[in-house]
A and B are shown apart, each in its own frame.
Chain A
């Protein structure tokens, strides 16, 4: 149906695509995988008409196509849901669903008509937001699903999903996978781009792998491709199996974070949890179950109404700023929102916490000193990028490493990681994991929440599971597996919360 062939594209001296072709057939889910920088985004941009190739063609039903923008692409039946959220946060749910002209009656926008059209699509995705809520107030997962609903309302024949589940919790991702397959059965051609390889294996019928701007695996049936050979195709070498979590080098009496009976109204109830230096402690739970609130109280962004939080220095975090000065680092998967100043250079980003946040280095340090220190940080984390380059020029994985670099520059004792590898490729993910293990080995306390359960299993010494703001279980050793974790998060979730303390 949609056929691209021989696509070539350069950015400056960098070859993004070098003779890439892909064929999307009606009724299939075609997965596109590859590391960051392999050319996936460029291919998507060309197929959706945002970027013009230097060579090659894109044909829809045998006729060459050219779209001026996403709206024209949509009019011809190609809908794209991009990786970055493109919702209008100040508009309502309904207004967001009809960005190119809402249905009208007598010249005025008809809310009733909008509801009638949107109802089935929202229901299919299991989405039930109040129709007049401002989209900015919805949880991230709902916003992502809303964007997919918007694409479906255009009744496309080709649907391109670029990292659709990177922001989704597991249940929503599963729902989306089911919907994706159903759409294909209805005759849509779906291009499915994802970093989650297991998800790809489950959802897709065929898979194309890009590496360094070339096709290394062209539309193979997923059933014939194993996970290992997929990873090999992507990375160009056999996958390094993640090292099993090292035993916690607990240093008795060393630096520790202790939560004692912490209650935050509406978010946490009587949570007690101690993490020693050198320990990597995961916090897990379904959306809204309070695992992120644990990170918030450690980072001083939520203050307990009762109970206490003690940081290694003996203090309790009074505010986000106070926590930072006490050596708490907060690293989010939301790099562009919470991590980086994308319009600034790497050295300005890297020195921003230690110099501007903690106030180290005085009122007017020498710029060359700051730059040299940043260069050292980049080299130690093996970031490919010049200190004077802008953060916006880096790939997602390297951007995330810059976020690590800036927090390490502040010499933290405690790290709170919130989905630290969201949207980064497999290679960068394992590098980030190595960094985290190294930090723990240095005696730092690490808390981590992740939408990627495999990440928690690979990385953590133990994982604390929360439901309804209370700790319902702790997994470690042999019991720390993905199925066990998923079970602990979901089991009995629908039942009313039992009053229970936590271990």
Chain B
């Protein structure tokens, strides 16, 4: 199923041209699929927020919503990167470890006197490189990315623990602009980390749906054999997709480092699975071929809203994990059910 992003200005003009010239044939698919695939999950998110707000009006305060969004940024970035891996039938289990390693390395570099901005760039480069390494090992040793990234997730977390000697790295120069810009209050009342997230969603969404790289990722995920026969650079694309996934984890690490002003090597346990769950909730199937960056972001926010809402409903903190698991199951179960209902209604024809 091709993902129809909400059309930008020039694209909608093209659509108009096409309809004008060709009339009905060009219009038909729009009637068949009038809503973008992400509409469902975004709708659920909005309903969820309003529903919680109905019982807990304080939940709808701008400050609370922004905090909730800010908390979702880290997993959200990983989920957006994960869409590329999942869409080509790969999976990246190393993002949680990458995140912890990135934070520790960044913190150490800054403590050793590096300019924090430079340290951030170094973390980004390192995480993209390690992600590419994931892809290269997967390809050249012909191993499933599941196993390769399972191993690297432990390697990376292990490196983080060892470098940090198992302790938090503190005493960073917190008066530096890096910490106030990326970790602070931000622009137009919205934390800059949230802006970065929004920007990443837009850019990756366009990359996924409109560019050659994104189309290759989807084509290879749809039919790897046909892609090979069609001359697509399968190896290079796989390496790039996993590098992108690593880069997103690195970006999350940079933002987290700026916010927490500390390097905690035990941070981000299980984030990789939450990111995968968010991507699946957002309409990216494990079988590959399709996906949605916007959906993955919305999926992350759904999980974030639930976690935040539990606090408002004064659910004991020890039940949070249980509730999150329940939400994932319900959401992952409901999404394909909804899609099937819609497919039945819109196609009405056996292939």
Contacts and interface: CB of A to CB of B under 8 A. Distances in A.
A366 interface: yes
Nearest to A347: B2
Given A356-B219, A367-B14, A321 B231 contact: yes
Interface stretch (A166-174, A224-232, A268-276, A336-344): A336-344
B231 A340 contact: no
Contact of A348 (B2, B211, B229, B350): B2
Contacts of B22: 375
A353 B25 CA distance: 25
Given A14-B349, A352-B227, A386-B28, 8 more contacts: A339-B229, A343-B222, A363-B213, A364-B210, A365-B212, A366-B11, A368-B11, A389-B29
Interface in B108-167: none
The 5 residue pairs across chains A and B that have the minimum distance between CB atoms: A324-B231, A357-B231, A388-B29, A368-B14, A12-B349
B171 interface: no
A265 interface: no
Interface in B279-317: 289-290
A406 B2 CA distance: 18
Interface string A21-60: 0000000000000000000000000000000000000000
A372 interface: yes
Interface residues on B, range: 35 or more
Interface of A: 11-12, 14, 320-321, 323-325, 330, 332, 337-345, 348, 352-353, 355-359, 361-368, 371-372, 375, 386, 388-390, 392-393, 406
Contacts of B213: 363
Interface in B293-351: 347-351
B231 A388 contact: no
Contacts of A321: 231-233
Contact of B232 (A330, A344, A357, A390): A357
A348 B226 CA distance: 13
A341 B349 contact: no
Nearest to A319: B231
Contacts of A389: 29
Contact of B18 (A325, A345, A372): A372
B225 to A, nearest CB: 6
Contacts of A362: 212
B226 A358 contact: no
B185 interface: no
Contact of B348 (A12, A330, A339, A359): A12
A11 B351 CA distance: 9
Contacts of B215: 348, 352, 355-356
A85 to B, nearest CB: 15
Interface string B1-32: 11000000011001101100010011011000
B228 interface: yes
A43 B238 CA distance: 43
A434 B226 CA distance: 25
B230 A353 contact: yes
Interface string B200-214: 000000000011110
Interface in B20-55: 22, 25-26, 28-29
A130 to B, nearest CB: 25
B216 interface: yes
B223 interface: yes
B226 A344 contact: no
B212 A341 contact: no
A358 B222 contact: no
Contact of B212 (A14, A338, A345, A364): A364
Contacts of A356: 212, 215-216, 219, 227, 230, 232
Contacts of B289: 341, 343-344
Nearest to A368: B14
Contact of B226 (A341, A345, A371, A375): A341
A393 B351 contact: yes
Nearest to B287: A343
B219 A359 contact: no
Nearest to A322: B231
Nearest to B212: A363
Nearest to B213: A363
